[in-house]
Amino acid sequence: DAGVIQSPRHEVTEMGQEVTLRCKPISGHNSLFWYRQTMMRGLELLIYFNNNVPIDDSGMPEDRFSAKMPNASFSTLKIQPSEPRDSAVYFCASSLGQFQTQYFGPGTRLLVL
């Protein structure tokens, strides 16, 4: 079975541009999580969804960040406008349920110049 799929794998953009990261969870998984990894802050949860509904977005840094899950097989994380401090690796993870083991995608490495 395919694992969690993320696209793009790498993104380089200029400050002020809109960035959209995409995630396809494992088929049948009901929970989806977005994490960010930086040297300074390590791995931190941004937001998670259960059955396509956002449950906890307290980790979203600010209004420039938004996430959607229009259906069970697709989620987006959007940054508008992007800033250099948003440079990081963004991971998507999915699980069978909110309290089940999470499986991670390969990540999107974002560089904002």
Which residues are near other proteins by CB under 8 A?
4, 31, 33, 35, 42-45, 48, 55-56, 91, 93, 95, 97-107
Q: Are strands 108-112 and 10-13 parallel, antiparallel or unpaired?
A: parallel
Nearer to other proteins (CB atom), residue 54 or residue 81: 54
**Minimum CB distance to other proteins, residue 56 (Å):** 5
Nearer to other proteins (CB atom), residue 16 or residue 28: 28
Nearer to other proteins (CB atom), residue 15 or residue 43: 43
**Minimum CB distance to other proteins, residue 43 (Å):** 4
**Minimum CB distance to other proteins, residue 74 (Å):** 18
**Minimum CB distance to other proteins, residue 45 (Å):** 5
Handedness of CA 34, 35, 36, 37 (dihedral sign): negative
Nearer to other proteins (CB atom), residue 57 or residue 81: 57
**Single-letter residue type at 73:** S
